[in-house]
Amino acid sequence: MGISNRLGDVLGNAVEAKLLRNVIKHPVKVNHLAIIMDGNRRFAWSKALETDIGHKMGKMKLEQVLDWVMELEIKYFTVYALSTENLSRQIDELDGLFKLYIEGLRDIADDPRIHENRVKVQIIGRRELLPDSVNEAIDYAENKTSEYEDYTFTICLAYGSREEMLAAIKSIAEDHCSGKLPLESIDEEEVSRRLYTAEMPDPDLVIRTSGEERISNFLLWQMAYSELYFTDVFWPSFSKKELLKAIQTYQARKRRFGE
């Protein structure tokens, strides 16, 4: 490594440290961070690697980001891992993803850091669309962390926000037709109570990687007033500096909530 490279590393570390200090001392905090983890495949293709290598590197990045989230004391962290639309991908790619989910969920459930920080792990989505082996790993992770309350780590698997909202609408319609729910009781809070995220606050900040500027059927109801941050970086290349920049951007914005 040349002198210029070492100097670049030193300067980069100094900038990151300053960003971290500024974010931590700022009075505006992120309570719920959500990330659309996009770009594993394109990262692999850009490096002439197999697609499954990109997914493996994406898994490793998620474990790293979870550490950063706990360091920043962000209490709720939600990631979009697999949409219902993604289930139409090639069988070989899906099989590889499912193996990664099984491995990742079991690793997280057995990770001492998860238990030291009392992180509740939960998975939301249409679990009936997932293989039994994945559901067994989900049960394992959820059961081992179910009593924790300090942090909540939510993974969206086989998830689609429109399907989630339709299920809530059907539930409300059934209760209204049966006489359990008067018409005047149907309001925003009633809808929110019937979503997968009923026990969580709405996201403050939603980050999407890979340069795409859309939300792709993710938390449509919940992110009505969330701040959005888009970055060109592919998910496996997402850095702590990029996370801190996103949070700093959020802290600089004035949230109006429609006012």
- Whole-number pLDDT of residue 253: 87
Number of compact structural domains in the chain: 1
* Range of weakest confidence among 69-78, 176-185, 248-257: 248-257
Instruction: Give domain status of residue 190, yes or no.
Output: no
Is 22 assigned a catalytic role?
A: no
Statement: residue 255 has pLDDT above 70: no
- Residue 83 sits in which domain range? 24-160+202-251
**Quick one: tokens of 151?**
């942090």
Instruction: Give domain status of residue 165, yes or no.
Output: no
Instruction: Give domain status of residue 48, yes or no.
Output: yes
Contact call for residues 10 and 201 (beta carbons, < 8 A):
no
The mean pLDDT of 92-115, rounded to a whole number, is: 96
- Whole-number pLDDT of residue 14: 85
Statement: residue 180 has pLDDT above 60: yes
- Binned at pLDDT 50, 70 and 90, residue 204 comes out as very high
Contact call for residues 130 and 84 (beta carbons, < 8 A):
no
Residue 77, SS3 per DSSP: strand
- Whole-number pLDDT of residue 15: 84
**Looking at 38, 52, 202, 204, which residue is catalytic?**
38
φ/ψ (deg, to 5) at 79: -125, 145
Task: Specify the residue for token string 């698997």.
Answer: 157
Distance separating the N- and C-terminal Cα atoms of the chain: 53
The CATH number for 229's domain is 3.40.1180.10
Instruction: Give domain status of residue 10, yes or no.
Output: no
Instruction: Give domain status of residue 19, yes or no.
Output: no
Instruction: Give domain status of residue 180, yes or no.
Output: no
**Looking at 31, 86, 135, 217, which residue is catalytic?**
86
Instruction: Give domain status of residue 18, yes or no.
Output: no
Is 38 assigned a catalytic role?
A: yes
Instruction: Give domain status of residue 14, yes or no.
Output: no
